[in-house]
Amino acid sequence: MTNAPASASGSDSSYLQIQNIVKDFGGYKAVNNVSLDIAKGEIFALLGSSGCGKTTLLRMLAGFETPTSGRIILNGQDLSGLPPYDRPLNMMFQSYALFPHLSVWENIAFGLKRDGLPKDQVGERVDAMLKLVQLGKFAQRKPHQLSGGQQQRVALARSLAKQPQLLLLDEPLGALDKKLREQTQIELVNIIEQVGVTCVMVTHDQEEAMTMASRVAVMSEGRFLQVGSPSDVYETPQTRFVADFIGNVNLMEGTVEVDEADHVVIGSPDCKHYVGHGITGTLGMPVTVALRPEKIHVSRNKPADDFNTAQGTIEEMSYFGSFTVYRIKLPSGQMLKVSMANTVRQRDDELTWGDSVWAHWSRSAHVVLTQ
Ligand code: ATP
């Protein structure tokens, strides 16, 4: 999140500049003063639940909506006032919008022919695109003769054929089922990276954003709550909302009992948290401790450390093959979710329903949230 001034040329690190963009729909700010620089070649994801404003922001980049205020600068060029078809970008929609009566080859060629590109260049470009998305042998098929994932790749080839400076993807894999989605995510990233095109995608699926993007912006109510790499937002969420929105998390309420420069102790109903770094806070201040399920270890034996440990009873267990999720009821009634990798086929001390257990986690496992 930066507020860098517009540069005349647009450097590689601020290839796309979104500056103080507001979109007001009759008094409701769907996008509320967001600023962001996106680097050349980056795959950037706008992530948020329904109604957070991500599509409106993408549509402003495409030129389908006009910002109420703010500027969008691409490669040094202010896009204000440019209609969608004059912008050096392409938007790929969830529905693909392939022409059903045209072959794959003709679908990809369509925009190039309309732009009046010479015939031999159209042929070269379409063949290169078909090779890129590995659909050369399907060139003469109609869209309905392809699988959903293949249609998706044709749509991508068509979007890239005009060599846009910016590719916009609106829920690109929304029409695919879960398994195909996962395969296609990797294929899409490989293709986008080969071409080197800068890409902004919108998704409400956090796994998709984490898998595909180099950075993500978590949006809520028209604002960016946090911008960072997938591991930044997962491991160091800055707010309860982000911690809860990205992945699974245990949120435990508490107050600051020891506040030193190199550590803090947070007292909460079921345990005392020792956190191995300082926080910006004061003694007695209410805070939330965020703890990811995979960072907790469970055993029948009481750990030596009095901190970062809680006793409880296993109420639920779900086996997922490579890992098992336990829900442990703590004395306060709070459920602690723990996910443990199944690294051996059978454990000697197999845990099961109703077992009284100790949960334990390290001094760097949790994050203290003050907002
Ligand atoms: P979804 O994932 O459901 O598409 P989103 O995060 O993309 O959600 P937007 O479509 O950007 O959300 O909408 C943001 C807010 O702006 C919503 O409350 C929506 O109702 C409102 N909105 C969007 N377009 C218009 C419009 N043309 N007129 C009035 N309000 C609008």
Q: Give the span between the Cα atoms of 55 and 239, in whole angstroms.
A: 23
Among protein residues, the one with the nearest Cα to ligand 1's atom 28 is 25
Q: pTM, whole model, 2 decimals?
A: 0.87
Could you tell me which residues come within 8 angstroms of residue 74 by beta carbon, excluding any fewer than 6 positions away?
10, 15, 16, 17, 87, 88, 89, 165, 166
Q: How close is the Cα of 52 to the center of ligand 1, in Å?
A: 7
The verdict on the CB of residue 366 being under 6 Å from ligand 1 is no
Q: How close is the Cα of 53 to the center of ligand 1, in Å?
A: 6
Among 31, 49, 55, residue to substitute to test ligand 1 (most atoms within 8 Å of Cβ): 55
pLDDT at residue 195, as a whole number: 86
The verdict on the CB of residue 48 being under 6 Å from ligand 1 is yes
Count Cβ atoms below 10 Å from residue 272 Cβ, excluding itself: 16
The interaxial angle of helices 119-132 and 178-195, nearest 10 deg, is 130
- Contact present, 133 and 195 (Cβ < 8 Å): no
The verdict on the CB of residue 222 being under 6 Å from ligand 1 is no
Q: How far is CA 368 from CA 219, 280, 302, 320, in A?
A: 21, 10, 25, 29
Q: How close is the Cα of 87 to the center of ligand 1, in Å?
A: 23
Q: How close is the Cα of 56 to the center of ligand 1, in Å?
A: 6
Q: Which atom of ligand 1 is nearest to the CA of 25?
A: 29
The verdict on the CB of residue 197 being under 6 Å from ligand 1 is no
Q: How close is the Cα of 264 to the center of ligand 1, in Å?
A: 42
Reading the block at residue 139, the tokens are 């060139």
Among protein residues, the one with the nearest Cα to ligand 1's atom 24 is 56
The verdict on the CB of residue 60 being under 6 Å from ligand 1 is no
Q: How close is the Cα of 16 to the center of ligand 1, in Å?
A: 23
CATH of the domain spanning 7-88+190-247, picked from 3.40.30.10, 3.40.50.300, 3.20.20.105, 3.20.20.70: 3.40.50.300
Residue spans per domain, the chain: 7-88+190-247, 250-369
Q: How close is the Cα of 173 to the center of ligand 1, in Å?
A: 20
The verdict on the CB of residue 203 being under 6 Å from ligand 1 is no
Matching residue, tokens 């947070």: 266
Per-residue pLDDT of the chain (371 residues; tens, 9 = 90+): 333 334 444 568 899 999 999 999 999 999 999 999 999 999 999 999 889 999 999 999 999 999 999 999 999 999 988 999 899 999 987 766 789 999 999 999 998 999 899 999 999 999 999 988 888 999 999 999 998 888 888 998 999 998 899 999 988 887 677 777 887 888 889 888 988 999 999 998 888 899 999 999 999 999 999 999 999 999 999 999 999 999 899 999 999 999 999 999 999 999 999 998 888 888 999 999 999 999 999 999 999 988 999 999 999 999 988 899 999 999 999 999 999 998 877 766 788 899 999 999 999 999 999 88
Q: Give the span between the Cα atoms of 20 and 17, in whole angstroms.
A: 10
Q: How close is the Cα of 44 to the center of ligand 1, in Å?
A: 20
The verdict on the CB of residue 53 being under 6 Å from ligand 1 is yes
Q: Which atom of ligand 1 is nearest to the CA of 65?
A: 27
Q: How close is the Cα of 240 to the center of ligand 1, in Å?
A: 24
Among 31, 52, 205, 245, residue to substitute to test ligand 1 (most atoms within 8 Å of Cβ): 52
The reply to whether CATH 3.90.1300.10 applies to domain 250-369 is no
